[in-house]
Amino acid sequence: MMATATRAASKALSHLRVLDLGIITAGAAASQIMGDLGADVIKIESPSRPDPFRRWTQVASPASGQTDLNASPPFQTVNRNKRGMALDLKHPDGRRVFLDLVVKSDIVVENFRCGVLDRLSVGFADLKRVKPDIILASLTSQGSAGPEAGYSSYGSTLDALGGLMSLNGYGPETPRWSGTNVNYPDQVVSLIAPGAILAAVRHRDQTGEPVHVDLSQREVVTFLLGEYVVDAAAARRGPQGNRNADFAPQGVYACAGKEQWIALSIGDDAQWVRLCDIVARDPAISAERFATAQERHANADAIDALLGDALREWDRDRLAARLVEAGIAASPVFASPEVLKDPQLAALGFFQSVEHMSFAGRRQRGFNARLSKTPATIHSLAPRLGEKSREILTDMLGYSDEKIAELLTSGAVFADRD
């Protein structure tokens, strides 16, 4: 394992060095989690085609109108705690530099299409030749086998291919995806990947063998909802919106005030009685009228209409508190500003304030887990393109000034201004 001088020894993963070829969310966020826990993560980008996330929100300089490649809030979040290295893997010298980095590293993370690394001559076989115990984590779209292995895709299309969209929506005629702002498959695989990578590290440490971790984003989507896909296929059911035959009423209802909503679900007959006691001003809403789950499900439209009228009179937060106190599953539907101010998330320290950021994104999501002895931290901003190229070539690889100058002149390596 690699000792990392740039990370405090107290961090859980300070013994690991990660070469991050990841782009957008999937690969980059997986290595970001490892960086939060102390791993020395080196973000590798192409000088001519940097991570597209740098341009995701088109943050532009007011003076020039040009996009600031270092100012994108989503890029800042998933690339914090990394050192930046820019090199051209299509250039023979750039490829040699990368393989020299592999020799001094533990893990390579990538989320390109299957086969891209092999075509660049830096695939698993190439990595093993220079580092016999290397770990390669491939977070591909479709996986490494099958007729569609070489396909590229987006999070939204993986919603469709993985089966999520078939269950998400308000009926079979209106399936819905999680949207480009969420990209559910990317988010989920980035949370699962670090655990799989650390399992590979354990195997490597015990055997000295290299490991290729193959994580298909499409598979992850289906894995997480597999039993529901099987159930829906057996019952020939498609998207049902907020309704569930076993929990009626179940839905989202408007309350008093502009854009104020509450979500609630009834689990049994006793909860229905308590709901009626709290909200029933109209005698049409009565525990006796819809006494059983079967009656409520059969009359779901009528109940929704009655509740829709009754709940519009209520203050959302007061109603949610009353329902929760009565043992009913209920919650206010928070808008983004309310999530940011949520006291529970504040108590957990979920949102982290990142100092010295003069643009949008200074508040970032925190950590996916809290370790009592070796807590995660944000110790550096996302790197500028090629910010640490010279430092890495000098300190990590021991290249001479003359060799570095040749690499910069040839275009094999790019270095940000000192």
pLDDT at residue 66 is higher than 60: no
Looking at 6-10, 41-45, 73-77, which range is the least confident one?
A: 6-10
pTM of the predicted structure, to 2 decimals: 0.88
pLDDT in tens, 20-57: 999 999 999 999 999 999 999 999 999 999 999 888 76
Cα separation of 93 and 397, whole Å?
Answer: 14
Half-sphere exposure of 59 (CA within 13 A, CB side): 17
Structural domain spans, the chain: 17-226+350-414, 250-335
186 among known catalytic residues: yes
pLDDT of the residue at 356: 61
Q: What mean pLDDT value characterizes the chain?
A: 88
Q: Are 245 and 178 in contact (CB under 8 A)?
A: no
pLDDT of the residue at 1: 43
pLDDT at residue 414 is higher than 50: yes
Looking at 97-106, 308-317, 361-370, 381-390, which range is the least confident one?
A: 361-370
Determine which one of 106, 133, 186, 416 is catalytic: 186
pLDDT of the residue at 171: 74
CATH superfamily of 250-335: formyl-coa transferase, domain 3 (3.30.1540.10)
| Rounded alpha-carbon distances, angstroms, from residue 343 to 260, 318, 361 | 19, 16, 20
Cα separation of 268 and 344, whole Å?
Answer: 28
Highest mean pLDDT pick, 51-55, 126-130, 298-302: 126-130
Q: Are 384 and 80 in contact (CB under 8 A)?
A: no
Q: Which CATH architecture has domain 17-226+350-414?
A: 3-Layer(aba) Sandwich (3.40)
Looking at 136-140, 227-231, 301-305, which range is the least confident one?
A: 227-231
Cα separation of 283 and 262, whole Å?
Answer: 22
Looking at 47-56, 115-124, 196-205, 260-269, which range is the least confident one?
A: 47-56
pLDDT of the residue at 260: 95
Q: What average pLDDT does the segment 177-196 reach?
A: 85
Cα separation of 7 and 229, whole Å?
Answer: 44
